[in-house]
Amino acid sequence: QKEVEQDPGPLSVPEGAIVSLNCTYSNSAFQYFMWYRQYSRKGPELLMYTYSSGNKEDGRFTAQVDKSSKYISLFIRDSQPSDSATYLCAMIKGNTPLVFGKGTRLSVIA
Amino acid sequence: SAVISQKPSRDICQRGTSLTIQCQVDSQVTMMFWYRQQPGQSLTLIATANQGSEATYESGFVIDKFPISRPNLTFSTLTVSNMSPEDSSIYLCSVRARDGTDTQYFGPGTRLTVL
């Protein structure tokens, strides 16, 4: 079993929809959880960073962590065509390199 | 946050040659990393660049092929040596913030094509 599982999609939604992106993980030692957005031909951009279980909101984005279920989510409200990108979850345990999911390709159709 | 620049942004190289990619950060950081991202794939860690000592390579990557330097806390280079078409990829520099959050940031990437 991979340490981090993420459905690669692609996921296609109409403009204005609520998008739910998810990752599961197997190692309970993971402490910090991140979501990155990557546009085509660009480097990943840090979107959200969370430490504890619960929700963290930033504008249209909400990151949710459930450590008991080893499950993290990113919700995008009122999705826009400019949200079309690949979204990668990532997590860290201690002083070790990030472990990434495979990334989910999202298309928001106008 | 940290602002990261990479040079070159892209290059087209001939088989058998070498290319050195530079990474500059606008602030001192604890950890610097080099990743590779092949088309349509997620990121693969090549190595952790250690300041003043040899880099720590991940399984499948070796120093002879990917020599790395990190002379100070804000700069690192990755060389792709004796290139083949299989080395065509995006190479990304990444740093971990020195603010106690362990947040990690990425540079814009270097798009390498080997003919």
Residues B29-86 pLDDT 10s: 888 999 999 988 889 999 999 888 889 999 999 999 999 999 999 999 999 999 999 9
B111–A43 C-beta distance less than 8 A: no
Nearest CA in chain B to A88: B42
pLDDT, tens digit, 9 for 90 and up, residues B80-108: 999 999 999 999 999 987 777 778 899 99
How many angstroms away from the CA of A79 is the closest CA of chain B? 23
What confidence score (pLDDT) does residue B41 get? Answer: 86
What confidence score (pLDDT) does residue B53 get? Answer: 85
- Residues of A with CB below 8 A from B48's CB? 97
Mark out chain A residues that contact chain B at CB-CB < 8 A: 31-32, 34, 36, 41-46, 49, 88, 90, 92, 95, 97-98, 100-103
Confidence of residue B1 (pLDDT cuts 50, 70, 90): confident
- 3-state percent breakdown (helix, strand, coil) of chain A, nearest 5: 5, 55, 45
What confidence score (pLDDT) does residue A1 get? Answer: 67
Average pLDDT over residues B15-30: 93
B7 has a pLDDT exceeding 90: yes
- Residues of B with CB below 8 A from A31's CB? 102
What confidence score (pLDDT) does residue A104 get? Answer: 96
Between A41 and A70, the more confident residue is A70
Confidence of residue B28 (pLDDT cuts 50, 70, 90): confident
